[in-house]
A and B are shown apart, each in its own frame.
Chain A
Amino acid sequence: MAVRANYDYDWPSRSAAELYGDDQLVHIWWKGNPFFVSAQTFRFPKAMPFGELVGLCKGFFAADPDFVPDAMDTVQWRIDKVDVTPDMSASLEANGVGHKSLVEFSI
């Protein structure tokens, strides 16, 4: 519904895609591991290969002492809650990762 106001109320998003140029925000969620209290938000180039995202994850999630980086090579990826098999050499955009998409895995 429209906001009840005494004028025509319409304001833009403070996190619209165009505010990030050639980049976009991406949420990465290690589902089932509350050691990282929530999904993590990153700013990545849309053109970044998906494989690079996996490499970054291997470094980032090492903050968990039980993390084994190689386990990431065999996880089931989900993008916006749909199972996918990403093309590691294709871009995030080509893999269907959009602005504020949720990229999810579990180990």
Chain B
Amino acid sequence: MTVSPEKPARKLSMKQRYTALTHDLDWTPTYVTEEEIFPFTTFEGIKVHDWSKWEDPFRLTVEAYNKYQAEKDRRLYAVLDGFAQSQGQLGLTEARYMNAMKIFLQGIPIHEYDAHRNFSYLARYANGPGARFAALCQSMDELRHAQTEIHTLSHYNKYFDGMHDWHKWSDRVWYLSVPKSFFEDAMTAGPFEWLIAIGFSFEYLLTNLLFVPFMSGAAFNGDLPTMTFGFSAQSDESRHMTLGLEAIKFMLEQDEDNLPIVQDWLDKWFWRGYRLIALVAGMMDYMLPKRVMSWKEAFELYFEEQMLNGLFKDLEYYGIKPPRHVQWAIDEKEILSHQVYWVLYQYSHAAAFTTTIPDEADQAWLQESYPETWPVFKAAVWDKAQRVQDAGGRYFNPGLPQLCTVCQIPMGFTEPGDPLTQCQRQSVYEGERYDFCSDGCQWIFDREPTKYRQSWLPVHQIYQGNCGGPTLPDVAAWYGLQPGDGAEYLGSPDHQNWLAWHGQAPKED
């Protein structure tokens, strides 16, 4: 053993390592102008004076990133493998639980990939090395999320319907146009708006509502793979939240002229994101056989308490106000999930998930969680749906819904304070009428009508003859739906298989 005559150099501190391996690797170009290298960071009107002020609080380097991401993947894939080997799908609470997962796994992986692409673009085109490196890490994270979700899905696809053509569906099916339009809206904005849209509004403000109660719900319903990829993704998400917060503060600190632009984007993307996760409200309250918390409770905990009473007090320092239509969202927390699931229930014959009338236990939980509003909805719609079913039928809406031009959700949301009268908003732009579900969506359209008049609205596309033909079977074939993917849960192949796997005969009724 040789002993070094001198003591080794002192290890660099975390801060020194971070600076040496990110900021200090940057150089000032001399052969070309900064504008030529970074041509996309000026047209949005955001003024930046000093890119070196962009710091990553995580102080992550390539080495640390690789080390910890590899460990996360190692843990995750051990769980996925063990679940598959031990036939873990048999231990779910019920087969109908999978419907919530189907919507998630059909709708989200492709947009994780979209996020990967756009953060790659930022990793190249942001002027500062701090921003570029944080974007590079997030870009790789998003690719990892797409992969882990697809791996989770691939196991379930062997046992359940509604999984086999997720990629095609995400591009074609009506309810999946909701996430698609959201992410494509963000991707077609400039880099700073993207950061406020995805980095800040989605990741910091809202993503907790999507992931945390939902993944805890997966844990509660025996869905180990979803819990594990969800929590594993969330560990990256904490870094993304930090990037989003760093992004908004960086813009606000660089120049006070940035404030009105940032506020406008925040107002827009809060509402876009909130409408997108309305789907989660329906899934949480109606599709999980065992529930961790209601949408209302999650909204109060993860949005009102953490964001309105925490974050926005912090941002007030810069002159930022809470999002423009936030009160509308607060007012909706008692009714949102009822309305969303009622949409899903009556159109599930044209979808890749199944639905059913809430059973006795579900109804008791709904009554307890929503004592004011559940009885109203039960009387207005569910009792009637039950009568249709008792007479040997099953209520499906025989037509096509009016869609909101911005969020693309069927216009079933109601006027504030009136849970049963749908909200109807219209704007006219260059002689053409456009429809909206809320003041929030109308405001977004009125700001940028030339963007949103391009909305690929599934119902309008069907009527233009772009979706395989005029009848439901034509459209279902074009979507790539197969028998069993959609419609009623009771008696569906998933339900029958579940009973057979557990040695029970199908119910006689």
Contact = CB atoms under 8 A, between A and B. Distances in A.
Q: Do chains A and B touch in the complex (CB under 8 A)?
A: yes
Interface residues of A, number: 44
A34 B402 contact: no
Contact of A34 (B43, B342, B461): B342
Interface in A65-102: 65-66, 80-81, 98-102
Contact of A100 (B388, B433, B456): B433
Nearest to A31: B421
B40 interface: yes
Given A20-B464, A39-B422, A99-B433, A3 B450 contact: yes
A4 B184 CA distance: 16
B367 to A, nearest CB: 19
B390 to A, nearest CB: 10
A36 to B, nearest CB: 6
Nearest to B190: A4
Nearest to B418: A32
Given A27-B402, A63-B398, A37 B346 contact: yes
Given A3-B448, A4-B44, A37-B346, A65 B432 contact: no
B interface, how many residues as a size bin? 35 or more
B395 to A, nearest CB: 7
Interface string A30-46: 01101111111111000
B314 to A, nearest CB: 27
Given A6-B43, A15-B457, A20-B463, A27 B435 contact: yes
Interface string B411-453: 1101000001110101000001111000000000001101101
B384 A38 contact: no
B178 to A, nearest CB: 14
A11 B450 contact: yes
B426 A80 contact: yes
A63 B412 contact: no
B404 to A, nearest CB: 9
Nearest to A23: B463
B397 interface: yes
Interface in B239-268: none
Nearest to B446: A1
Given A1-B447, A4-B45, A101 B433 contact: yes
Contacts of A36: 346, 397
Nearest to B448: A3
B466 to A, nearest CB: 10
Given A25-B460, A65-B391, A13 B412 contact: no
Nearest to A15: B460
Contacts of A63: 395-398
Nearest to A104: B424
Nearest to A24: B463
Contacts of B414: 34
Contacts of B402: 27, 29, 38-41
B403 interface: yes
A40 B399 contact: yes
A3 to B, nearest CB: 5
A24 B384 CA distance: 33
A54 to B, nearest CB: 16
B199 interface: no
A38 B412 contact: yes
Interface of A: 1-6, 9-17, 19-20, 25, 27, 29, 31-32, 34-43, 60, 63-66, 80-81, 98-102
- 7 closest A-B pairs (Cβ-Cβ)? A37-B412, A39-B402, A6-B43, A13-B453, A38-B411, A43-B463, A100-B433
